[in-house]
Amino acid sequence: MTELRLEGVSKRYGTGRDDGAAALQDVDLTVRDGEFFTLVGPSGCGKTTTLRTIAGFEAPSKGVVSFDGESMIGVAPERRDVGVVFQSYGLFPHMTVAENVGYGLQFREPPDGTGVDERVDELLELVDLEGMGGRNPDQLSGGQQQRVALARALAPEPDLLLLDEPMSALDARLRESLRRQLKRIQSTLEITTVYVTHDQDEALALSDRLAVMNDGEIEQIATPRTIYHEPETRFVAEFVGDNNVFDGTVRARDAERTRVDVAGTTFDLPPGVGFDGSAQEQERERISFCVRPADLSRAVDQNRFAVNLETSEFRGESVRAYGQWNDVPIVLQLGEVLESEKDATVTVGFAPEDAHVLNGG
């Protein structure tokens, strides 16, 4: 299969574009053979531009896209052997489902001497659409259309599968089942896959690794677990899952702890944080760190502070509560919120090792 690599890829648009395509700045990433890799970020962050650059629909202004070490610069999309599924599916309305799925097979022969019809049936079976080949796309539901698009992209056995927000037009329940189906197919075929989404839950659920993008740049590339627990930047911390971010000043350091002052309250963080030896003394004094809601607990007696609760949402296994502490918005995950605690204060604390220091304030 295929390893995908982007090195120093930048994309600038001249004036006169009005389709809102985002520019890219020095994007470096490697997608390993067979990996499910996700690009996640808010709209306009450049994730779709990155995907289109990989597919060959956009030419980078600078940098290299390579498949298995072979540069793809100047190679037309149709000669890259990629399968693409779009947000709007892009099904051909004047062709039947089978003709859609078989379309790519006239340019790339089906594998191992399989006949075209046979291969089409095989793919329709893979996406649970047996017997639908004769229908027209507009006779199918949204979820079915999405699966036709997937089958069509997979039919010529592409080296790389690219999916651009393929589920965003579907309702939540359908998304979850399609998500599982997609994951199953991907791991069966072991196909290198790049998935673009703005939905961080989807990104965390599906990916082997993911890249969080913001404003044309990659903020962090890591496994879902690392991204969630060890966000490198404030943007990642806030974008992926709920988080509480504190900005403070380093007051003191010793072998056991780092003392940080936030809005007049002093918190203890693990020793050595925010110190990399190279930075100037002044810069070292300012520091940002985050603490996940689940790590803020009434039961912890370190680093305690009182939160003014404003609203809460019942989430079944827990309650999510939103409030303020010294103008810092705070999200809590509580086992239960008592009636008496509503519109009142709750005092919580966190263990120093649960605080995660962010780069770049």
Partner 1 sequence: MSRSRPGRIASGAGRIRAWLERNAIRLTALVTAGILAVMLYLPVGVVFVEAVVDEGVPTLGHFAAVLTDPFYFGVLADVFADPLAVGTHLGSLAGWLAAVSISLSLEYPIPGIDVPVPWLAVDTPGVRQGLFGFTAYQAALSTLASVALGLPAAYILANYEFYGRRTLRSLTILPFVLPGIMVAVGFYAMFGRAGTLNGILGVAGLGPFAFIETSPLTIVILAHAFYNAPLVARLTVAAWESVDTRTVETARSLGASERRAFRDIVVPQLAPAVLTGALLTFIFTFMTFPIVLALGGLQLATVEVWIYDRIQRLDYAEAATLAILETILSLGLTYAYLRYESVQSGFSQAPSPPPKEALFPDLRTALSPRRLAICGYGLVALVLFVGPMASLVVGSFTDGTGFTLRNYAFLLERQLEGASFQTLPLPAIRNSLLFGVATLAVAVPMGVVISVLTARTGRSGTIIDTLAMLPLAVSGIVFGIGLLQGLVFGISLPGGWRLQITGAVAIVIAHAVAAYPFVTRNVSPLLSNLDPAMVESARALGASRFRALVDVELPLVANGIVAGAAFAFAISIGEFSSTVILASGSESYTMPVAVERYLGRRSGPAIAMGTLLLLVTAASFVVIDRVGGRYEL
Greatest Cα pair distance, the chain, in angstroms, is 73
Q: Least Å distance between CB 207 and partner 1?
A: 22
Query: What is the Cα–Cα distance from 231 to 343, expressed in whole angstroms?
Result: 31
Q: Name the nearest CA neighbour of 160 among 186, 142, 199.
A: 186
Q: Least Å distance between CB 156 and partner 1?
A: 6
Determine the Cα angle at 361 with ends 299 and 251, to 5°.
Answer: 65
Query: What is the Cα–Cα distance from 297 to 84, expressed in whole angstroms?
Result: 45
* Residues in touch with partner 1 (CB under 8 A): 15-19, 55-57, 67-68, 70, 76-84, 86-94, 103-104, 106-109, 138, 149, 152-153, 155-159, 162
Smaller CB separation from partner 1, 196 or 296: 196
> Tokens 């005092």 label which residue?
347
Smaller CB separation from partner 1, 151 or 269: 151
Beta-strand relationship, 217-222 and 62-67: unpaired
CB 330 within 8 A of CB 345: no
Q: Least Å distance between CB 236 and partner 1?
A: 29
Smaller CB separation from partner 1, 140 or 212: 140
Smaller CB separation from partner 1, 88 or 177: 88
Smaller CB separation from partner 1, 10 or 87: 87
Spell out the long-range contacts of 323-326 with Cβ–Cβ below 8 A and sequence spacing 24 or more.
325/263, 326/262, 326/263, 326/264, 326/265
Spell out the long-range contacts of 14-22 with Cβ–Cβ below 8 A and sequence spacing 24 or more.
20/44, 21/48, 21/49, 21/58, 22/46, 22/48, 22/49, 22/215, 22/216
Which contiguous run of DSSP H or E holds residue 239? helix 234-239
Q: Which residues pair with 65 in a beta bridge?
A: 6
Query: What is the Cα–Cα distance from 101 to 106, expressed in whole angstroms?
Result: 11
Smaller CB separation from partner 1, 185 or 296: 185
Q: Least Å distance between CB 296 and partner 1?
A: 44
Smaller CB separation from partner 1, 43 or 266: 43
Q: Least Å distance between CB 78 and partner 1?
A: 5
Q: Least Å distance between CB 64 and partner 1?
A: 17
Distance (Å) of CA 23 to CA 11, 41, 48, 269, 277: 5, 14, 10, 38, 34
CB 5 within 8 A of CB 30: yes
Q: Least Å distance between CB 105 and partner 1?
A: 8
Q: Least Å distance between CB 111 and partner 1?
A: 8
Smaller CB separation from partner 1, 95 or 205: 95
